[in-house]
Structure 1
Amino acid sequence: MDPFTTFVKTLSALCLFVTTGAGQARTDDFLKKLLARNQSPIFQEVIRHPETYRLQIIYTQINRDKNNTPSFTHYYFHVDSTDYFNPASTVKLPLALLSLEKLNRMQKPDVTKFTAMQFDSAYSKQTKEWRDETSETGYPSIAHFIKKAFLVSDNDAYSRMYEFVGQQEINRSLHAKGYLDTRITHRFVRMSADENRHTNPVRFIRQDGTLLYAQPAAYNPDPFDFRRVARLGKGYMTGNDSLVHEPFNFTERNKLPLEAFQQMLQSVMFPESVPDRQRFNLTPADYRFLYQYLSQYPGETNYPKYDAKQYYDAYVKFFFMDSLHHQMPDRVRVFNKVGWAYGFLTDASYVVDFKNKVEYMLAATLYVNSDGILNDDKYEFDTVGQPFMYQLGQTIYQYELSRKRRYVPDLSRFRMTYEKRINDNRPVVRDVDN
């Protein structure tokens, strides 16, 4: 028996997942046939066992009319919004959007995404953050948090945006936009459910330290709907390295179905393509800022000054990255957000090839954890997950290069002016918690 078949049988035997009210997975024949063209052994083993790998894929073709107006055709492979996967860092995208939206709703001209912020503590486990030496000003800001969340998927940046927006506003806003099956319940630090309902006092300050605006501590009294149970695996490791012989309970963890994640990205890249209520309240300057840092590379960025060797160009571009491919193709930019945790890898991308006039969207998630133990840091990210995502990305990219379009798209809207790394004496940032 070949090793990949052995891996599949082992993973199938060890995976235990319980969910109530599960729906029917959706698969389109067109995408199924397109994926069959790639005969990579790892790729085909995953494609042939979508339940084992909890695989879901959404491929979105974009076609323009003579006025350059885009239309979208979505193709699905094993997509089921009731089939839980851990969204990990993908939730940093909605938190960035909600943070910008909240700033705009505040309507305080002196308080912008670039304004210095400080976080205090007012409840159990909360921590202060008054300085950020990786920023140009030496202070945190919403803009700097978004940079860090997008460029290398920094966890603290997400937690601080969570604290700024607040748990109640996060979930009410997403549900009001039609993302009814989503929930964001926690920071990326060890806290109880009660502690995550409480968020810190926040203040915006001038560069001389004087106060511009103070936001008090907040508490979310709204209940969550946890009726759909989600348990995964045969065991898990606790914080003190003890093995618990029962499935890991994700029922009260963050949830962001792949369709919702794809639609959030589409609402950012093409706001006119989604209903008004689904759009985020962003300014033209916000969109340009988001486009830049969704697609800019860590090595192009001055603040933070990331180690370009450790955080290479394709570091958070799963559809163009595997162990051999760290550089991006010439004149290709990927506007995306990824997440990886608990054996899950997820990516939603808008891909633009300016040279060949190609654009499309691709979103996917899969699970690679053959021993069935959660929290043991023994996942097949490098040997199965990332090679699969790369092969999937290349399958769609090569098809798009050959696909005939009636009208050549004008992609100038997505051409960004990226930073150039300044050679100075500041140390580079390594080993980010992500």
Structure 2
Amino acid sequence: MSLFSYRFGVLMCISLMGMPGYIHAQPRTDRLLRQLLFNNVDSLFHHVITHADTYRLQILYVQINRDAHNRPHFHTYAYHADPDAYFYPASTVKLPLACLALEKLNELHIPGVDKYTRMQIDSAYPWQIPEWTDSTSENGYPSIAHFIKKALLVSDNDAYNRLYQFVGQQAIQEKLHARGYRHVQIIRQFMGLTAEQNRYTNPIRFIDADGHVLYRQPALYNPVPVSSGPPIWVGNAYMDREGKRVDHPMDFSMQNRISLQDLLYMLRAILFPQSVPEKARFHLTADDYHFLYQYLSQFPGETNYPRYDADVFYDTYVKFFFRDSSHHHLPPGVRVFNKVGWAYGFLTDASYVADFEHHVEYMLAATLYVNRDGILNDDQYEYEEIGTPFFYRLGQIIYQYELHRKRKHAPDLSRFQIPYEQRDTTDTRPTIKQVDN
């Protein structure tokens, strides 16, 4: 028996990776995408797509066709897509949090308070952590802009927690649901807090360069109980907070959640706001949009603040559809505007790809679960063995198809051409080699 046959024979003998609670209506699969996927002969890729239930696989591919006036028209193709099928969204929830934080600043209408204004975060309860300074920023202080940069560039967890604390649990839910994003529940920070502790957020103040308080936000509390709904079982067992094994599936009903459809539509609402109903858009300024476009697509190694190590946080570090183990750069002329997440064995990427050299654009999103032993919280997941190779292969299938797909009108992509930062070669500060993500 070959190593490959043995490896995937073992995979097929696991407990279908938490199949209880994963029974839904027939997932949607469209012929074109199915044909594209099954034309690929890579054995690992073929195994995953033919066992989509086992891997909780979902894929959405969006063709974008421009008319004579450069207006985009979208057509979505699905493979095994089901908005009711649970996957743990991990860091992908940082995308809507970035938008909600910018939106809240705009709605405050306080002179001198914007995304670049210095912040100081206090604590009101024992489990909360204050943050008055930030050595990775240019002025030494935190700000909403700096948190968003870190959340998008390398998927920094502390940055997400601070955005969550600024917006507040209640507002997050209400604002996203009001926009029609119904398959969303963002109720947890990435701090190991209890469900009750996550209802509380830190007191925050915005200050000017002289330390004068411009705006003070008190500690917030969500008085609306979070309805967990029925249990969402994943895995066979899990390791609890004390490191002890619990021999039954883990319930994710009180964890964050988002459907792949909602996640990709949020990205579309950011990049193509005029293409979605006004209700689904975020209330952002032109500068907000430009800021998001830059840091959704800028490389960590191009950025001066924070000064990430370009060898550790290489160009495709958070670009799963182009992340090859032997090649860490995007094709010439390509930029990817996206957000990824990985945790508990789940990997997810929602991307807009723009190839300025070949005048190609499309959107692609996928989620996958790789946990051979069925145990959660044991840090034994097949991210590098199965997950990222699958995402890279999927990305290449769609990219190559798009390179050869005929278009009636070539897209004008100039609004996505960003004057990216250039790394200051005279800067002698040590680079950042590790983050909590």
TM-score bucket (shorter structure) = over 0.9
Q: State the partner residue of 1:355.
A: 357
Distance (Å, rounded) in 1 between the aligned partners of 2:262 and 2:133: 34
Q: Would you say 1:425 and 2:410 are equivalent positions? A: no
Tell me the secondary structure at the aligned position of residue 308 of structure 2: coil
Q: CA deviation at 1:14?
A: 5.1
In the alignment of these two chains, the number of paired residues is: 433
How has the CA–CA distance of structure 1 residues 20 and 45 changed in structure 2, closer, same or farther, with 3 Å as cutoff? closer
Structural mapping, 1:87-166, within 5 Å: 87-166=89-168
Note if contact 1:4-1:42 (Cα within 8 Å) is conserved in structure 2.
Answer: no
Paired position in structure 1 for 2:407 = 405
Q: Which is further off, 1-10 or 411-420?
A: 1-10
Contact 2:235 2:249 in 1 (8 A): yes
CA distance in 2, matches of 1:228, 1:363: 27
Which residue of the partner structure matches residue 257 of structure 1? Answer: 259
TM-score, normalised with respect to structure 2: 0.97
Q: Report the Cα distance in structure 1 between the residues aligned to 2:18 and 2:90, rounded to whole angstroms.
A: 20
Distance in 1, matches of 2:97 and 2:10, equals 36
How do 1:30-429 residues align onto structure 2 when only pairs under 5 Å count? 30-423=32-425, 424-429=427-432
SS at match of 1:73: strand
Once the two structures are overlaid, the 10-residue window that deviates more, 32-41 or 134-143, is: 32-41
The percent identity for this pair of structures is: 57
Q: Distance in 2 between matches of 1:293 and 1:143?
A: 10
Shift of residue 41, structure 1, vs aligned partner: 0.8
Return the alpha-carbon distance in structure 2 between the equivalents of residues 290 and 7 of structure 1: 43
1:324 CA drift (Å): 1.3
User: Alignment partner of 1:76: what SS?
Assistant: strand
1:231 CA displacement: 1.1
Question: Does the Cα contact within 8 Å between 2:98 and 2:148 map onto a contact in 1?
Answer: yes
Query: SS at 2:342's partner residue?
Result: strand
Opposite residue 27 of structure 1, the aligned amino acid is T
**Contact in 1 for aligned 2:346/2:370 (Cα 8 Å):** yes
- CA shift, 1:228, in A, is 3.0
Contact 2:119 2:142 in 1 (8 A): yes
How far the C-alpha of 1:225 sits from its partner, in A, is: 2.7
> Shift of residue 20 of structure 1?
7.8
Give the Å deviation of 1:21. 7.5
- Check conservation: 1:23, 1:81, Cα contact below 8 A: no
Q: What amino acid maps onto 1:275 in structure 2? A: P
Taking only aligned residues, the RMSD between alpha carbons, in angstroms, comes to 1.1
Q: Secondary structure at the match of 1:337?
A: strand
After TM superposition, the structure 1 stretch with the greater mean CA deviation from structure 2, 393-402 or 180-189, is 180-189
What residue ranges of structure 1 are gaps of 5+ in the alignment? none
1:401 partner SS: helix
Quote the offset at 1:16 in angstroms. 2.5
Pair 1:182–1:289, CA change in 2 (3 A):
same
Distance 2:171 2:25 in 1: 28
SS in 2 for 1:193: coil
Q: Give the distance between the partners of 1:102 and 1:328, measured in 2 at CA.
A: 34
Query: Residue type matched to 1:425 in 2?
Result: T
What SS class does the counterpart of residue 257 from structure 2 fall into? coil
* TM-score, structure 1 normalization: 0.98
Pick from 2, 5, 10 the counterpart of residue 8 of structure 2. 5
